[in-house]
C-alpha cells in the first residue's frame, strides 16, 4: 500500500486540471481488479452516515484520484468500510459498504438483490404499476445513485462522480436481475459544482425515445428527451391514487402539473366533474396532453405561470373543490432556504384562496432542506395571510419504493399535507 499523506497533498492538481482529465468520465468496474492497489482514507472520527465531508478527512493515500475505490479507517486505524474518494467534492468520501465488502462481488449482488426484493416481493409493485424506483441512493446502500424502472427501461440519475463512472456496470447488473432491455444514465448540471464534473448522457444501444408505463391501469408516456430527473415522479404514486379517490364528481385544480400525473388520475380513476391543470413548462404540458389522450379523459391544460394564474382566479372569484399543489424543488441548497420558503409561502397563500369552503388542498414539498416543522409553520403562516381556517387531515410522503434510512434523514424528502380549507 502507498504511503499516507496529508489530505491537501492529494489535491495538489488544480480542480480545473483534474476535472478536465480525459479519463475522468471513463466507465469503470464497480470493484477494482485483484492486482489493483486499494487506497486508504483516514477519518478524524468514526461515523454512521455514508457521506464523509472533506473536513472530516485526516489523511489519504498518496496518488488517489477522483472516483477511486478506497478503504475507510477511523482514528484508531479501525476499518469502517469501503467507498469512493473524490478530492473535487465537498463530500470527499461516499461509503458504499462495510468491512465485509472489499473485493466481494457477492456483497454488491446482495445489495442489488435486497433492493429488488423490496420492490418485487415485499411491495408487489409489478401487480399495479410498471414504473417504480429500484435504487433509492443511500437508503438502498448506493450513495449518489437513483434508478427507476419504466417497463423495459432502467433510468438512472447520479449525483456522484464515482457512480457516474460505474453507472453502466450497475445498470447492466440490475438489468440481468430484472430482465430489462434498455438503460439510461444522466448526471444533472449541479454535479459540476458539487462533484467537479460534467458528464454526457450514456445509454444502451437502441434506447427508445419514449415508452408507455401503467399505474393503477392508467397509462403515461415518458419522453426521455424532455423529461426531468429520471423521467417520471414515481414517489407520488399513492398520493395520486388517494387524491383521485377524493375527486369523484368534484372540480379539481392541479397546480405545477408537470406531465399531468395528478390531473389524469383525478379524471380517469376519480371520475372528477372537471379537471384543470397548470404548468409553465410547455414541453411537459404537451406530454400531459398526450397522457390525457392515452386514457381518453378530458383535462383542461393551461400553459401559464402558476403565480399569475392563481392571482387571476382570486380576482375572478373562481374556486375548486379539490386543489393539489406540487411545485418543483424550490430549495436546492442551504443558501436558498429563505427564498425557497418564501416561494412556498406565497404559493400556498394563493392556493388556499382558490379552494371552496370545506374543500381539500393537498400541498407538497420535495425540498428536503425544508424540514417538516418548517413546512407546517409555513402553512400556518399562509393560512393566516389567506384568512382561512385550516384543518390538517393527514401528512404523507413518498411511496414505499423510496425508503428512508434512519442514519440518512435526508432520504425523507417528500412531504404532502392533506388540508381542509374553511373560510372564516
Q: Residue 10: its pLDDT value, please? A: 40
User: What are the phi and psi torsion angles at 88 (to 5°)?
Assistant: -85, -10
Q: What domains, with CATH codes, occur in the chain?
A: 4-97 (2.30.130.10), 105-210 (3.30.750.80), 223-423 (3.40.50.150)
Share of the chain above pLDDT 90, in %: 84
Confidence of residue 15 (pLDDT cuts 50, 70, 90): very low
Residue 8 has pLDDT above 60, yes or no: no
**Sign of the alpha-carbon dihedral angle for 75, 79, 81, 84:** positive
Instruction: Name the β-bridge partners of 415.
Output: 365
Mean of all residue pLDDT scores within the chain: 92
* Nearest C-alpha neighbor of 396 from the set 410, 372, 368, 415: 415
Strand ranges inside 47-193, DSSP E: 51-53, 57-61, 68-73, 79-85, 91-97, 131-136, 145-150, 153-158, 182-186
Residue 100 has pLDDT above 50, yes or no: yes
User: What are the phi and psi torsion angles at 69 (to 5°)?
Assistant: -75, 130
SS3 377: helix
Indicate the length of the chain as a whole number: 424
pLDDT digits (tens, 9 = 90+) for 23-60: 789 999 999 999 999 999 999 998 889 999 999 999 99
pLDDT digits (tens, 9 = 90+) for 154-206: 999 999 999 999 999 999 999 999 999 999 999 988 888 889 998 999 999 99
* Nearest C-alpha neighbor of 284 from the set 230, 222, 344, 343: 222
Q: Name which of 23-32, 152-161, 226-235, 378-387 the model is least confident about.
A: 226-235
Query: What whole-number distance in Å separates Cα of residue 287 and Cα of residue 222?
Result: 8
SS3 104: coil
Q: What integer is the mean pLDDT of 210-222?
A: 96
Judge whether 127 and 104 are in contact, CB under 8 Å.
Answer: no
Query: What whole-number distance in Å separates Cα of residue 162 and Cα of residue 234?
Result: 25
Supply the DSSP symbol for 2: P
Q: What integer is the mean pLDDT of 100-107?
A: 91
Confidence of residue 127 (pLDDT cuts 50, 70, 90): very high
Q: Residue 47: its pLDDT value, please? A: 80
* Nearest C-alpha neighbor of 279 from the set 252, 309, 250, 247: 309
Share of the chain above pLDDT 70, in %: 94
SS3 74: coil
Confidence of residue 228 (pLDDT cuts 50, 70, 90): low
Strand ranges inside 86-151, DSSP E: 91-97, 131-136, 145-150
Q: Residue 174: its pLDDT value, please? A: 97
Task: Work out the number of other CB atoms within 10 angstroms of the CB of residue 214.
Answer: 13
Judge whether 291 and 329 are in contact, CB under 8 Å.
Answer: no
Confidence of residue 22 (pLDDT cuts 50, 70, 90): low
Confidence of residue 96 (pLDDT cuts 50, 70, 90): very high
Higher pLDDT, 15 or 225: 225
Judge whether 315 and 339 are in contact, CB under 8 Å.
Answer: no
Amino acid at each position: 500500500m502507498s504511503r499516507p499523506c496529508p489530505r491537501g497533498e492529494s489535491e495538489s492538481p488544480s480542480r480545473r486540471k483534474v476535472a478536465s482529465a480525459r479519463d475522468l468520465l471513463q466507465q469503470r468496474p464497480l470493484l477494482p481488479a485483484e492486482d489493483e492497489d486499494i487506497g486508504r482514507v483516514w477519518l478524524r472520527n468514526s461515523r454512521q452516515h455514508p457521506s464523509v465531508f472533506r473536513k472530516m478527512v485526516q489523511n489519504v493515500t498518496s496518488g488517489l484520484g477522483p472516483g477511486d475505490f478506497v478503504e475507510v479507517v477511523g482514528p484508531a486505524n479501525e476499518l469502517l468500510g469501503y467507498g469512493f474518494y473524490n478530492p473535487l467534492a465537498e463530500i470527499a468520501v461516499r461509503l458504499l459498504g462495510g468491512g465485509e465488502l472489499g473485493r466481494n462481488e457477492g456483497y454488491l449482488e446482495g445489495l442489488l438483490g435486497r433492493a429488488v426484493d423490496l420492490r418485487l416481493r415485499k411491495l408487489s409493485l409489478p401487480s399495479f404499476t410498471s414504473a417504480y424506483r429500484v435504487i433509492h441512493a443511500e437508503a438502498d446502500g448506493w450513495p449518489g445513485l437513483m434508478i427507476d424502472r419504466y417497463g423495459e427501461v432502467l433510468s438512472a440519475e447520479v449525483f456522484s462522480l464515482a457512480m457516474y463512472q460505474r453507472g453502466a456496470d450497475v445498470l447492466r447488473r440490475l438489468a440481468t436481475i430484472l430482465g430489462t432491455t434498455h438503460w439510461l444514465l444522466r448526471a444533472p448540471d449541479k454535479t459540476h459544482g458539487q462533484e467537479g464534473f460534467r458528464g454526457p448522457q450514456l445509454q444502451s444501444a437502441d434506447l427508445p425515445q419514449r415508452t408507455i408505463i401503467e399505474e393503477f391501469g392508467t397509462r403515461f408516456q415518458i419522453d426521455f428527451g424532455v423529461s426531468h430527473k429520471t423521467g417520471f415522479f414515481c414517489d407520488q404514486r399513492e398520493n395520486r391514487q388517494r387524491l383521485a379517490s377524493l375527486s369523484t364528481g368534484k372540480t379539481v385544480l392541479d397546480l405545477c402539473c408537470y406531465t399531468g400525473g395528478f390531473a389524469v388520475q383525478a379524471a380517469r380513476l376519480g371520475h372528477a366533474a372537471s379537471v384543470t391543470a397548470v404548468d409553465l413548462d410547455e414541453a411537459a404540458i404537451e406530454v400531459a396532453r398526450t397522457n390525457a389522450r392515452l386514457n381518453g379523459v378530458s383535462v383542461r391544460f393551461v400553459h401559464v405561470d402558476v403565480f399569475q394564474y392563481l392571482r387571476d382566479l382570486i380576482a375572478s372569484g373562481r374556486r375548486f373543490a379539490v386543489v393539489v399543489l406540487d411545485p418543483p424543488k424550490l430549495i436546492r441548497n442551504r443558501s436558498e432556504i429563505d427564498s425557497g420558503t418564501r416561494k412556498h409561502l406565497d404559493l400556498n397563500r394563493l392556493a388556499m384562496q382558490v379552494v371552496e369552503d370545506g374543500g381539500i388542498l393537498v400541498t407538497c414539498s420535495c425540498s428536503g432542506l425544508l424540514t417538516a416543522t418548517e413546512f407546517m409553520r409555513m402553512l400556518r403562516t399562509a393560512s393566516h395571510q389567506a384568512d382561512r381556517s385550516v384543518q390538517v387531515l393527514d401528512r404523507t410522503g413518498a411511496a414505499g419504493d423510496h425508503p428512508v434510512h434512519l442514519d440518512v434523514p435526508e432520504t425523507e424528502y417528500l412531504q404532502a399535507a392533506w388540508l381542509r380549507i374553511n373560510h372564516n
